[in-house]
A and B are shown apart, each in its own frame.
Chain A
Amino acid sequence: MSKFSKTVIAVATAVVCGAAGAAKYEGIGRPATPAEVKAWDIDVRPDFVGLPPGRGTPEQGEAIWLQKCAMCHGDFAESNEVFTPLVGGTTQEDIKTGRVKALVTGSVPQRTTIMKVPTVSTLWDYIHRAMPWTSPKSLQSDEVYALVAYLLNLAEIIPYDYELNQETIKEVQNRMPNRNGMTWDHGMWPWGPGVKAGGIGNGGKPDVQGSDCMKNCKKEVVIGSNLPEYAWDAHGNLKEQNRVFGPVRGKEISEAAKEEAQTAAGRQQSMLDLAKQKGCTACHGVDKAIVGPAYRDVAAKYAGKADAVDYLAQKIKNGGAGVWGNVPMPPHPSLTEEELRSLAQWIASGAKVD
C-alpha cells in the first residue's frame, strides 16, 4: 500500500470496507449498518460492556417468573423436573467470601446455577438471549433485569425491594457467592500470555501425565469399578446395536429389557415418535406438563367434545395462548394435514403409548 497516497487509502477505506484484506477480495461482503449491529450484538461481558439500560426488582421479576419460567424451573427456581435447579446450596457466608463452601465439602450433590456462576453478567446475557425456552429473545431489558433480580433474591443476595439496574448490578457482582470460585490456572487454554500475565491458562502445561512403561509395569490389576447389573439393561438390547456379522456380536440383554426394546422398536412409527420427531415433546409430556400441558390433561379437558380432533389439529397448526396459561404455543406450519389430524386424534384419545 506504500505507493498510494494517504488520500487514496482514505477513499478506498470509505468505499470498500477499511482494510487491506477487503481490496484483495473485491466484491465480497459489505459493511454492516449500525442498526444491524445493534440488532445482533447482544452479548454482555463480565465487565458489563454491552449491558443495556433498564431496571427491575425481585417483586416485578416474580410476576414474570410465575408466568414464563416457573413451569420449567419451579416457582422458586428449585425444580429438578426439566432442568437442574438454578438456586440453592449457597449461604450468607459464601456471599461474604465469594467461595461456595458446598463445592468444597460436596454437601450439595447437585450443583445449582447460582452455586457455580461467578459473574452476574452471565445470568443477564443468557436469560436475555435464550429464554424463555420456547420463545427466546422475547424478553425486554426491564424484564431481564427483573428476572435476574428475582433469582438473586431467591439466593438471598439482594432484598425483595432491591432495584437492579446498570449501576447497582456492579455492586451485586461483589456479592456473587462463587465470584472467587473460578481458576484460569490450568493447561487447557494453551494460548496467549497466560494467567500470570493477565491472560488465561498456564501456557498449556498438562497437570496429569501418564506412564510409558512397557513391561511388568505393576504387580496386580486393581479393578476400581464394574458395570452395575442394572446398567446393562438401561440402554436397550445391545445385540441390536451391533452388526449381525463380523468379529463380534452384541450382547443379548435380559428378557425383560429385550421385550422393552422390542416394544420400543414396534413403536417406531407410533404417534409418540411422531410427536418427538416434530419437537412436540420438548414442551409436552404424555402425562407430565413440561412447558405446555400434558397430553393426558389435554385429552381429559376435551373428553366427550365432538369437535375435539378438529379443534386440536387447528391449535397445533396455528398455535395459541391462554387456555393453559400464558406461555404461547408457537404455530407449527411444517406439519402436514395428515400429521396434524393423526396427532390430534392421538392426543384426544388419551395419548396412549402402547
Chain B
Amino acid sequence: MEETLRRRMGLIRKAPENFLSPEEIDAIKQGRRDFIRKAFATATALAASGPVINAYGETVDPGKGDPNILNLPEWSTTLGMPVATRGYGLPSKYEAGLIRRQSPGLTQTAAASVSFTPLQGTFGIITASGLHFERHHQGWHEIDPTRHRFMINGLVKTPMVFTMDDLLRLPSVSRIHFIECGANTGMEWANVAVPTVQYTHGMISCSEFTGVRLIDLLEMCGADLKKGRYLLAEGADGSSMTRTIPMELVESGEVLVAYGMNGEMIRPENGYPLRLVVPGVQGVSWVKWLRRVEVGDKPYGTKDEAVHYIDLMPDGTHRQYSSLQEVKSVITTPSGGQILLDKGFYNITGLAWSGRGKIVRVDVSTDGGINWRQARLEQPVLPKALTRFNIDWVWDGKPAILQSRAVDETGHIQPTYGQLRKVRGTRSIYHNNAIQSWLVNENGEVSNVQVL
C-alpha cells in the first residue's frame, strides 16, 4: 500500500525502460542486460525513501501528503475577480499552447495560407470558434456588416439584393456540420511529413451554423431550377473566391447562407458576416464573405476548380470538381508528438466524419491493423458532422501502433494507405482519407508513421 501511494504521488514514469534512450533499448534487445540493471538502480534509488517528484515537477513527501491539499492554494484563500472582468471571455492562461498554428514552409506568404486546429487538445465534436482552422486565398478582412450586400442573379426571374437586415429577418435554421479543407492530410500523400495531429489533420473543424436556407432565397428570386443546375458562389474579399455548387444539394435544403457560428456571429477569419455552408463538401466551397450567388446551367471552371483543388491521378489526368469529403477518422489522443506518462489505462479518443452522411462505426487497432475492436460512438451522431469516438486501452509498455477506421452509413469504409495509393497514387494532394497510424514506442513517445 505504501509503495503504491509513493508511486502514485511521485513521478509516474517509473518503469526503468522509460529512462532509456532508443539506442539503449536496442542494446538491451541485443542482450546487454547491464543497462537494465543500472537503470533499475537509478529508479529504485529515486523511489526508495524520502520525498518524491510528482508529474508536475513538485516535491511531495508521501509520508505527509500532497502539498496542494495540505497547503490551501491562493484561489481558496483570497478574493477572486469580479464579473465582466473580461467582457468577452478567454480561455485560461494555462491553455495558451492550444492555438491555431501554421506549418512552417507550407506556403510562402501568410495571406494565402493555412492555420491548423489543435486537434490534440480538443474535446467533443464542436470546435471552439477561436480555434477554427483558417484558409485564406488573399488575406482576411473585417467586413462592415452594414455595408455588406448579398446578391442573387443569373437564371432567375428577378435578380435580388439582400442586406444583413433582410437575412436576419428570414426564418433561420441551425445545423452542426464539419468543414474540412480538401487538402487536409495533403502533406502526407507520399510519406510522413509532419509530427502531430494538428498538422496532419488540423484543417478540419465542426460548428453549429445558423442561417437561411439558400433554396428559400432562390425561390424568392424565381430561380429557374429546371435549367439552373449549377450555382456559382462568390466571396467579397480581394480574391473574390468562386466555386461551383450543385443545385441538388441546394434543393435538399442543406446549403445555408450562414451568419451564425456556435451561438455568435461567424468570426471574421471564417467569413463574417456571411458564408456559404455546403455540408459534406470540402471547405473551399463554403465561400466566405459571401457576396453573390449566380444560378447557371453549366459549371464555371473557376481558378479553384481548374488550377487548384484538382486531384492528380497516376495516369496524369486531374479529377476536376472533386468536392465530396469521403469517410475518414483520426485518433487525437494519444497522437504524434505526445508522450504517455506511464503504463496502464488510457482512453483512446478521436474523431470520425463523412461527407456522405452519418458515421455508423469506428474500429480501433492497437497492433497496426492486425486486430480491431469497435469503439464507442458518443452522442450526438449527426450526418456530415464530426463524431467523437472513445475506446478503453491498457498500455502494457510495449510498442503499439494505434489506428482508427471509420465506416459511414453508405457502407463506405476508410481505406489504408496501401489501398488508397493503389488507385490514386501519391501525387493527388487532395482528398487523402487514409487510415492514420501512431506508433507508441517503449518510452511512451508517440510518432507519426504510415502503415501500408
Interface residues of A (CB under 8 A from B): 13, 17-22, 24-25, 27-32, 36-37, 40-43, 45-47, 49, 81-83, 99-101, 103-106, 111, 113, 116-119, 121-122, 125-126, 129-130, 133, 136-137, 178, 181-184, 186-192, 199-201, 204, 206-218, 221-228, 231-232, 234-236, 238, 240-251, 276, 279, 281-282, 290
B302 touches A232 (CB 8 A): no
24 A-B pairs, CB-CB below 8 angstroms? A19-B220, A20-B222, A27-B169, A29-B162, A32-B151, A45-B296, A103-B312, A130-B137, A183-B313, A192-B248, A208-B424, A210-B407, A210-B435, A223-B368, A232-B337, A235-B194, A235-B195, A238-B195, A241-B198, A242-B97, A247-B334, A247-B346, A248-B334, A250-B337
Per the 8 Å Cβ criterion, residues 395-422 of B in contact with A are 401, 405, 407, 412-420, 422
A129 touches B239 (CB 8 A): yes
Determine the distance from Cα of A40 to Cα of B324 in the docked complex, in whole angstroms. Answer: 28
B449 touches A227 (CB 8 A): yes
Residues of A within 8 A of B437 (CB): 223
Closest 5 CB pairs of A and B: A19-B222, A21-B219, A104-B316, A18-B157, A221-B368
A245 touches B450 (CB 8 A): no
Tell me, yes or no, whether B129 is within 8 Å of chain A by CB. no
With A17-B160, A191-B248 known as contacts, the answer to whether A43 contacts B219 (CB < 8 A) is no
Tell me, yes or no, whether B139 is within 8 Å of chain A by CB. yes
Residues of A within 8 A of B299 (CB): 46, 200
A235 touches B413 (CB 8 A): no
B413 touches A29 (CB 8 A): no
- The contact of A126 among B156, B302, B316, B317, by CB within 8 Å, is B302
Interface residues of B (CB under 8 A from A): 56, 94-95, 97-98, 101, 103-105, 108-112, 118, 120-121, 137-139, 151, 153-154, 156-162, 166, 169-170, 191-196, 198-199, 216-223, 229, 232, 234, 238-240, 242, 246-249, 291-292, 294, 296, 298-303, 306-307, 310-313, 315-324, 326, 333-334, 336-341, 346-347, 356, 363, 367-373, 401, 405, 407, 412-420, 422-424, 427, 431, 435, 437, 439, 445-452
B306 touches A200 (CB 8 A): no
Determine the distance from Cα of A104 to Cα of B371 in the docked complex, in whole angstroms. Answer: 38
Residues of B within 8 A of A244 (CB): 56, 94, 97
Determine the distance from Cα of A104 to Cα of B318 in the docked complex, in whole angstroms. Answer: 10
Inter-chain pairs besides A215-B371, A225-B192, A247-B340, 11 sampled, C-beta below 8 Å: A25-B170, A43-B300, A129-B239, A181-B317, A182-B320, A183-B319, A192-B247, A208-B420, A209-B419, A214-B363, A222-B452
With A206-B412, A224-B452, A242-B120 known as contacts, the answer to whether A248 contacts B341 (CB < 8 A) is yes
Residues of A within 8 A of B103 (CB): 235
- The contact of B162 among A28, A47, A137, by CB within 8 Å, is A28
Q: Shortest distance in angstroms between A97's beta carbon and chain B's nearest beta carbon?
A: 11
Residues of A within 8 A of B158 (CB): 13, 17-19, 22, 31-32
Residues of B within 8 A of A227 (CB): 192-195, 336, 447-449
Q: Shortest distance in angstroms between B156's beta carbon and chain A's nearest beta carbon?
A: 8
A186 touches B312 (CB 8 A): no
Residues of A within 8 A of B446 (CB): 248
A204 touches B292 (CB 8 A): no
Residues of A within 8 A of B339 (CB): 248-251
Q: Shortest distance in angstroms between A93's beta carbon and chain B's nearest beta carbon?
A: 13
Residues of B within 8 A of A22 (CB): 158, 220-222
B316 touches A103 (CB 8 A): yes
- The contact of B157 among A13, A32, A119, A231, by CB within 8 Å, is A13
- The contact of B220 among A17, A103, A210, A245, by CB within 8 Å, is A17
Residues of A within 8 A of B219 (CB): 19-21
Determine the distance from Cα of A3 to Cα of B252 in the docked complex, in whole angstroms. Answer: 29
With A113-B307, A244-B56 known as contacts, the answer to whether A214 contacts B298 (CB < 8 A) is no
A29 touches B160 (CB 8 A): yes
Determine the distance from Cα of A215 to Cα of B154 in the docked complex, in whole angstroms. Answer: 56
A122 touches B302 (CB 8 A): yes
With A32-B161, A43-B302 known as contacts, the answer to whether A225 contacts B322 (CB < 8 A) is no
B151 touches A104 (CB 8 A): no
B109 touches A290 (CB 8 A): yes
With A30-B161, A122-B307, A241-B97 known as contacts, the answer to whether A214 contacts B322 (CB < 8 A) is no
With A32-B153, A209-B412, A281-B110 known as contacts, the answer to whether A238 contacts B401 (CB < 8 A) is no
A243 touches B160 (CB 8 A): no
B151 touches A45 (CB 8 A): no
Q: Shortest distance in angstroms between B68's beta carbon and chain A's nearest beta carbon?
A: 12
A218 touches B370 (CB 8 A): yes
Residues of A within 8 A of B337 (CB): 232, 238, 241-242, 250-251
Q: Shortest distance in angstroms between B245's beta carbon and chain A's nearest beta carbon?
A: 9
Determine the distance from Cα of A187 to Cα of B324 in the docked complex, in whole angstroms. Answer: 8
A247 touches B341 (CB 8 A): yes
Determine the distance from Cα of A238 to Cα of B195 in the docked complex, in whole angstroms. Answer: 9
With A17-B222, A234-B104, A249-B338 known as contacts, the answer to whether A217 contacts B369 (CB < 8 A) is yes
Determine the distance from Cα of A165 to Cα of B246 in the docked complex, in whole angstroms. Answer: 31
Residues of A within 8 A of B407 (CB): 210, 212
A282 touches B424 (CB 8 A): no
Residues of A within 8 A of B153 (CB): 32, 37, 40-41
A243 touches B157 (CB 8 A): no
**Closest residue of B by beta carbon distance from A251:** B337
With A126-B303, A183-B317, A225-B450 known as contacts, the answer to whether A40 contacts B160 (CB < 8 A) is no
- The contact of A221 among B196, B221, B401, B422, by CB within 8 Å, is B401
- The contact of A243 among B97, B321, B334, by CB within 8 Å, is B97
Residues of A within 8 A of B294 (CB): 41, 43
Of the listed residues A31, A36, A217, A241, the one surrounded by the most CB atoms of chain B closer than 10 A to its CB is A241
Residues of A within 8 A of B138 (CB): 130, 133, 136
B170 touches A235 (CB 8 A): no
A226 touches B324 (CB 8 A): no
Determine the distance from Cα of A47 to Cα of B296 in the docked complex, in whole angstroms. Answer: 12
B239 touches A282 (CB 8 A): no
Determine the distance from Cα of A309 to Cα of B405 in the docked complex, in whole angstroms. Answer: 59
Residues of B within 8 A of A281 (CB): 110
B191 touches A224 (CB 8 A): yes
Residues of B within 8 A of A83 (CB): 108-109, 112
A188 touches B306 (CB 8 A): no
Residues of B within 8 A of A212 (CB): 363, 407, 413
Residues of B within 8 A of A125 (CB): 242, 302-303
Residues of A within 8 A of B356 (CB): 190, 204
With A111-B312, A181-B317, A248-B338 known as contacts, the answer to whether A189 contacts B161 (CB < 8 A) is no
**Closest residue of B by beta carbon distance from A27:** B169
